[in-house]
Amino acid sequence: MTNTDRVKAFIAAWEARDVEAILAGLAPDALYHNIPMQALKGRDAIRAFIAPFLAGATRVEWTVHHIAENVAGTVLTERTDVFVMGPKTISLPVMGTFEFRDGLISAWRDYFDLADFQKQMA
């Protein structure tokens, strides 16, 4: 399995809103950084952030426009992430970087416009 395949499986776990499958794809000490928000370190901190977020979502859909893996195994994604949160549908352009160690995501950084997210949530 390539790291690109692992990212696709990770995205499928998000779309299924399966917190346990999401966390299973992460190294125990994984770094998750939604830029420009504060970085999270480790599965427990990541769970504390994503579980309530996903509990509020009735649908998640990530459309991958481009995906690339370099020789070191880092995967880059250009995506549009859609979250249906009650009556609101949030649609965000995202650039994501996934680094791997031993077949698990060791660092995950998503770059998006926080002001756009906040405006759509208002």
102 classed as catalytic: no
What is the SS3 assignment for 32? strand
Q: Would you state the structure tokens that stand for residue 72, as one six-digit string?
A: 């070191």
CB count within 10 Å of CB 6 equals 19
How many angstroms separate the CA atoms of 90 and 108, rounded? 21
- The answer to whether the bond into 52 is cis (omega within 30° of 0) is no
Active-site choice (81, 102, 113, 116): 81
110 classed as catalytic: yes
- CA proximity to 37, closest of 112, 121, 89: 112
Active-site choice (29, 110, 113, 116): 110
**Contact partners, residue 71, CB within 8 Å, separation at least 6:** none
Report the catalytic residues.
Answer: 81, 110
